[in-house]
Structure 1
Amino acid sequence: MIDHSRDLASLYEATDRLIDAVSSWDNAALAQPSRLPGWTRGHVLAHVSRNADALVNVLRGLPMYKDAETRDADIERGADRPLDAQLADLRETADRFRAVAEEPADWSRTVELRNGVTDSAARVPFRRWVEVALHHVDLGAGYELEDLPEEFVDREIDFLADRWSGLASVPRTLLRAPDGRTWTTGGDSGDVTVTGPAADLLGWLAGRRDGAALTTEGGPLPHLPAL
C-alpha cells in the first residue's frame, strides 16, 4: 500500500540534499554539461523546478503542462540563470509543492499526468521524489545511483519494469539482483535473464547506464525504448 505521507517525508529529505549540494557551486558549475545529452546542469535544475510546479497543477486538477512546447521553452529559458536565481527557484517551487501536498485532500482520487496518463494522487509524492533523486544523479556531482535508498531503487525498478511489460519490442526478461530479488518485464516471447546490482539494473531501465555492468543469459541485453 502506498504511504503518501512517508513518501513526502522522503521527498523533502531528497530536496534538501539536492539544494545543499547545489548551494556549494558557483555559476561556472551550472554551465557544465550534465549527464543528460544536450543539457547543462542549469537545464536539469530548471526542469526540476518546473516539474514541481507541474505536479502542483496535477494535485489541483489542472493540466500538468500547457503543452510540450511551453514545457521545453520554460526549461531552456531557465537554464542560463545564475546560481542565486536557480536556488531561489528550487526552494520556492519545493515550498509550493509542499504547501499543496499538505492540504487536506482525497489521496485515493485519480489525477491526470502528461499525455493523458492517469494515476492515483497517492503516487504523486513518489513520482516527485523520483524526479528530484534521479536528476540529482544526472548532475554528475558525486551523488550516484548507489547512494539512493534501497526502497527507492526497488520501487523505481518495479515501476519501470511494469512500464515495459507487455511491450512486444522487448523480449520477456527476468531481472535478477545478486541478493535474489527479481523483476520481470517485456513481452510474451523470448527468455532473457539480466543480472547485476540493483543500481545498475535501475540505471539501465531508466536510461542512465548502458548496461555494461550487467550480464545476460538467453540473448543480448534488450533494447529499451526511450522514457
Structure 2
Amino acid sequence: MAVTTSAHTLPPEAVRERIEAGQARLRALLPGLTEAGIREPSELPGWSRAHVLAHIEGIGLAMARQARHALRGELIEPYDGGRPARAAGIEAGSRRDAAALGRAVAAALDEASAAWAAVGPADWSRPVHYRDGDLRTALLCWWRELEIHLVDAGMGHGPQDWPRELCHHLLDHLAPRAPHGLHLVLEATDEPSARPFGPQGAPTVTVRGPLTALTAWMAGRAPGRPLDCRRAGATVPLPELLDWP
C-alpha cells in the first residue's frame, strides 16, 4: 500500500529508501561530534545538541520496537514507562560524552535499519500501538522525526535539504496546526502547488514562499527564507499555528 499525499503517492519501500538516505547523512556527521559541540544549544529551546541526538536515538529505537513486535503480532508501547520514561531517557542520554553518544546513535540507526528491512510488502498494514496505527504509520513517524530533528541538531542540515516528498507528507500531517477561523492557503513559489486549510468561507490568509520554507514554518521551525503573508491584499504577520498533532 502506498503513502499518499496531495501531490505524491510514495510506496513504503520508497519511504524506507529516503529514511536510509537520511540516516546516512546523520551517520556521516557522528564522527565529528566533540564535547564542546554536543553541549551547544540546539534549535529547540532548552535542549542541547546532545538532547536532540539522544531523542533521535530514542525515537529510532521506539519505532524499530513497534516494527519488531508488529511482525510477531504483538502490540507494545513505543517506550516502556510512557512519556515520563521517554523524557528521563533523553535527559540521561544527553549526559554521555561525545564518543559514547555517537556510538549510541549509530547503534540505534543500525537497529532501525535492521528492523525496517525485516518488514515485507504484505506487512505494512499490521497494527501497531503507536497512534493505534499500522506499520506505515510508525515508518512515517520515524521519517518525520529523523529529518526534523536532524535540522534541530544544528549540524549543517537545514529544511532546505528536506526531500520534496517529505515536505508534502509533512504538510498533510501538520494540517491540524492550521489556525481556527481562517482559510489558510500555502502557495509554493518553486512548484505549481497551493495547499488550502480551513473553511472556504473564512477570511483568507495566503502565505507564499519556497516549499521547504512553508513546510518548516508549519513544522514550527525557522523557514530560513522570508515568507510573504497577505490578507485581503495587505501584508500581515504570519498567523499563530495550533499545537503539534
| TM-score, normalisation: structure 1 | 0.88
Matches within 5 A, 1:68-107: 68-104=83-119, 106-107=123-124
Matches within 5 A, 1:189-200: 189-200=202-213
1:184 to 196, 206, 212: 196
Structure-1 residue corresponding to 2:64? 56
| 2:188 is aligned with 1:173 | no
Matches of 1:85 and 1:186, distance apart in 2: 46
Matches of 1:102 and 1:211, distance apart in 2: 34
Matches of 1:102 and 1:33, distance apart in 2: 34
Structure-2 residue corresponding to 1:134? 148
Structure 2 residue identity aligned to 1:36: L
Structure-1 residue corresponding to 2:129? 112
**Any gaps of 5 or more consecutive residues in structure 1?**
none
Matches of 1:210 and 1:154, distance apart in 2: 15
Matches of 2:181 and 2:46, distance apart in 1: 27
Matches within 5 A, 1:156-171: 156-161=170-175, 163-164=176-177, 169=180, 171=182
Structure-1 residue corresponding to 2:20? 12
Matches of 1:170 and 1:99, distance apart in 2: 45
SS at match of 2:174: helix
Structure 1 range deviating more: 32-41 or 21-30: 21-30
| 2:214 is aligned with 1:223 | no
How far does residue 109 in structure 1 lie from its aligned partner after superposition? 2.6
How far does residue 184 in structure 1 lie from its aligned partner after superposition? 1.9
Aligned residues, how many? Answer: 221
**Any gaps of 5 or more consecutive residues in structure 2?**
4-10, 70-74
- Runs of 4+ that moved beyond 3 A: none
1:150-173 residue CA offsets vs partner (Å, 9 max, x unmatched):
222222222212x336x6x35221
Decide whether the 8 Å contact of 2:42 with 2:49 is kept in 1. yes
Structure-2 residue corresponding to 1:45? 53
SS at match of 2:133: strand
1:113-134 residue CA offsets vs partner (Å, 9 max, x unmatched):
2xxx233312322321221111
* RMSD of equivalent CA atoms: 2.1
How far does residue 103 in structure 1 lie from its aligned partner after superposition? 2.2
Matches of 1:27 and 1:122, distance apart in 2: 37
Decide whether the 8 Å contact of 1:158 with 1:183 is kept in 2. no
Query: Matched residues, percent identical?
Result: 29
Matches of 1:25 and 1:96, distance apart in 2: 21
